């Protein structure tokens, strides 16, 4: 009788294990896999700066660090730059960002920074001193951008005297923007 009970118990355990295994597995029936056809490559968005020349009220400046501006002055940078904007559906914008202009706030609040590009087919004014950049197959020819820093001529009293701002905190910004 002992062996009958063991046999029945073994059969019950075996049946339980088979039920558990049967429910846990899935069976692959006919199946076909095919790879995607072709390759895709990414574009590029870069900005390279070349030679630069500073002027104060139209006169060449040797070292901009030594310039002392006064209300009404125009400090200008002629900056050679090369734009690469490669992408079939790329929408990009070039601007000068002076939002992080660091140094004495009395002086930075009196300065207006702007960007101007020469007429070119691939850069259209987009408002707020920014330019919409058209996508291309390769880098564009270098051009000379004009960054102008004007010290407000209506600055009165002794506002912003003996003050310093760090021009390296003003940056050229080339960035992808949401497309249409």
Average confidence (pLDDT) over 131-147: 97
pLDDT digits (tens, 9 = 90+) for 151-164: 999 999 999 999 99
Q: How far apart are CA 81 and CA 172, in angstroms?
A: 10
pLDDT at 41 (0 to 100):
94
* Weakest mean pLDDT among 27-36, 70-79, 117-126, 161-170: 27-36
Average confidence (pLDDT) over 164-178: 95
Q: Which residue has the higher pLDDT, 132 or 26?
A: 132
Confidence of residue 13 (pLDDT cuts 50, 70, 90): low
Confidence check: pLDDT of 144 > 90: yes
Q: Which residue has the higher pLDDT, 27 or 122?
A: 122
Q: Token digits for 113?
A: 């920074």
Confidence check: pLDDT of 105 > 80: yes
Confidence check: pLDDT of 7 > 70: no
Angle (CA) 23-26-29 rounded to 5° is 140
The number of residues making up the chain comes to 180
CB 54 within 8 A of CB 167: no
Q: How far apart are CA 179 and CA 55, in angstroms?
A: 37
Q: Which of 92, 80, 86, 98 is nearest to 144 (CA)?
A: 80
CB 147 within 8 A of CB 177: no
First-to-last C-alpha distance (Å) of the chain = 84
Average confidence (pLDDT) over 107-125: 96
pLDDT at 2 (0 to 100):
57
Q: Token digits for 29?
A: 């029936």
pLDDT at 24 (0 to 100):
57
Q: Token digits for 2?
A: 């002992």
Q: How far apart are CA 93 and CA 83, in angstroms?
A: 11
pLDDT at 10 (0 to 100):
61
Q: What percent of the chain has pLDDT over 70?
A: 85
Q: How far apart are CA 56 and CA 64, in angstroms?
A: 9
Backbone angles phi, psi at 5, to 5 degrees: -65, -40
pLDDT at 19 (0 to 100):
55
Q: How far apart are CA 3 and CA 8, in angstroms?
A: 9
């Amino acid at each position: 009788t002992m062996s009958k009970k063991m046999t029945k118990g073994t059969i019950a355990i075996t049946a339980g294990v088979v039920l558990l295994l049967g429910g846990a597995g899935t069976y692959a029936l006919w199946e076909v896999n095919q790879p995607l056809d072709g390759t895709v490559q990414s574009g590029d968005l870069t900005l390279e700066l070349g030679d630069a020349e500073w002027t104060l009220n139209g006169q060449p400046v040797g070292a901009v660090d030594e310039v002392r501006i006064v209300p009404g002055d125009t400090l200008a940078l002629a900056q050679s730059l090369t734009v690469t904007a490669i992408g079939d559906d790329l929408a990009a914008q070039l601007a000068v960002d002076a939002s992080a202009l660091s140094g004495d706030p009395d002086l930075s609040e009196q300065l207006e920074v702007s960007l101007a590009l020469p007429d070119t087919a691939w850069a259209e004014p987009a408002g707020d001193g920014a330019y919409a950049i058209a996508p291309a197959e390769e880098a564009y020819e270098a051009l000379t951008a004009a960054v102008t820093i004007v010290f407000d001529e209506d600055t009165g009293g002794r506002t912003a005297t003996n003050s310093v701002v760090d021009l390296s905190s003003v940056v050229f910004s080339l960035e992808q923007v949401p497309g249409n």
